Structure 1
Amino acid sequence: MSDTAAGPDGPRAAPAVPARLAPAEARERFRAGLRMPTAGFCAGYAQANLIALPRDLAFDFLLFAQRNPKPCPVLDVTGPGEVSAPVFAGDLRSDLPAYRVYEHGRLVAETADATAYWRPDLVAFLIGCSFTFESPMQEAGIPLRHIDTGRNVAMYTTDRPCRPAGRLSGPLVVSMRPVPAERVADAVRITARYPSVHGAPVHVGDPAGLGIADLGTPDFGDPVEVRPGEVPVFWACGVTPQAAVAASAPEFALAHAPGHMAITDARDHDYQVP
C-alpha cells in the first residue's frame, strides 16, 4: 500500500531510508498521514502486532496467546483504555500507519487513525512481529524480496487450527519469505534466536503442507515471487489474532492492518536469546 505523500519533504513523504528512522520519528510520520508497510523501518528496533479487545474478552485472549505462543508472543499489555505501553511510548490510536476495525467478526473499516473507534474498555495487546528479526537476516546476507521490492510481506491462512481458549478459536496465519536453498539453515538458526517475535519457521518447503493452494494469492499482504533455487519458508504470524476474531466473531476488535505495525522503543536484541 503506497502512502499519500503531500510533497517530497513533507511529513507524509515516504522516507528515503526508513531503516535510519528512530521509532519516534516513524510514529510521527504515521500520525501525520504516512501509510505504508513497515518492513525495513527503524533498523534495530522491535515491531509489534496490535490487537485491542473489550476488557471482558482480555483473559480469553491471554489464555489463547499462552496456548499459541508461536503466532501470539505477547510483548506488552495495556490496562483498559490506555493508549501507550512501556515498550511503545506513542499513541496506539494514531501512531501506526493503518488499522482495521471488526464488529461481530466482520471487517467494517480500515483507517489511518483509530481514535474515533477507540473505547475506554479496550485492552491492547502488543504481539511480537517477524519484521523484528529481518534486520539480523539482512545483516547475515539473506535477501528479503518484499523489502527489496518495496512490497508488503505475503501472509496466508493455513489449515492448522490454533488451540482454542474460552470464546476464541481460529486458524494459524503464517508469513512467507523465499530463501535461497543454501541459506535456509542460516535463516532457521538466526530466527530461532528470537522466540518472542515468532522464532524459527513453522514450515519449510511445499505450501500444500499448510493447506496453501497458491502462493500467488496471499490472504494478506502482497504476492512475493519465489524464484528457481529458492525455498518458501513460513513463520507463524501475528495476524493470527485477527483470524481468530473473524472465526469467533466477538462484538468488537481493533487491530493493525497486516504489515502496518507498531514500531516499539524496544531494541530487537532485547528479544534475542543465546
Structure 2
Amino acid sequence: MQKTNRIVKRPVHAVESVENALRILVLLQERDALRIVDAARELGVAPSTAHRLLATLVYRGFAVQDPQKHYAAGPNLHLDAARNPARRLVAAVRPQLEALAAATGETVNLVERIGASARFRHSVEGPQLVRIGDRTGTVLPAGTSSAGLAALSVLSDAAVAQLYRRRATRSEGNELDAGGLAHLLSELAQVRARNYAINIGRTEPELAAIGAPVGPLANGKSFALSLSAPISRAGDLQGARVVSLLLAACAAIRGTLDTHPE
C-alpha cells in the first residue's frame, strides 16, 4: 500500500504567541544573527512584541544576545549534548554549580569571557525564597560584572590594555579611554589582591555579586564563577565562609575543565 504524505494544517485554535515563539526558534536556527526588526517583519508583529519574545527565549536559554543587540541560537536549541560543546560544558560542571548554590543559598553563574564581554553560560538558582533569577544567555561588558572582572584579572595589565585597544572591542562598544583603562587596571589589582571581584549595584541597582576566576585554562578559554544575591545580603556574600566555598568551587571546576577540554 502506497504511503501518502500527511498534510499538517494550522490548528483552528492555535495559540498565536506560542506559534510566534516557535517561528522565531526556526529563524534562529536558520540564521547566524537575527535582529529584532527582522524578527518583527517575519512575524508581522510590532518590534516590541518581537523583543519580548526574544527576551523570553534568552532567559530560557533558547537564544543569546551579543553586544550589538543581535540574537543567535542558544544552547537549549541544540539538544544533543554530544554534538554541542556548550551543553557538554554545562553537563560537566553542573553538579559543582548545584553544590555551590546549595551550600551558599545563592544563585551561581558560570560565565565565559569572550574578548571584552562576559557571557553567562549557565545559572543555578539558590534555594532562598527571595533570590536572583537565572541569567543564562545574558551578555555584559566584562568590566562591569563581578565574573567579568574576575576573568579579566588572570590577564596581565599589558594584555588587558591590548584587549581594550582591539578593533573588535571598539565595534562591541566596549572600548575604554585612557582614564577608563586606568580605572579598570586599578580595580583588577584589587581583585587579584583579594582573589575575587565585587559588584554592588553596578549592573542592577538591587543586585550584589562576587566573582572569582576559573583559570587560566589549558585550552586558552576564560571562565569565572559568580554568586549573586539581593543587595540586602551583600555583606553575607563577602563573608569568609562564602568566599571560601566560591574559591574551592572555582578550583574544582578548573580541574574538571582541564581534564575535559572542549
TM-score (norm 2): 0.29
TM-score (norm 1): 0.28
- The structure whose residues are more often strand, as a share, is 1
Q: Which has the larger radius of gyration?
A: 2
- The structure whose residues are more often helix, as a share, is 2
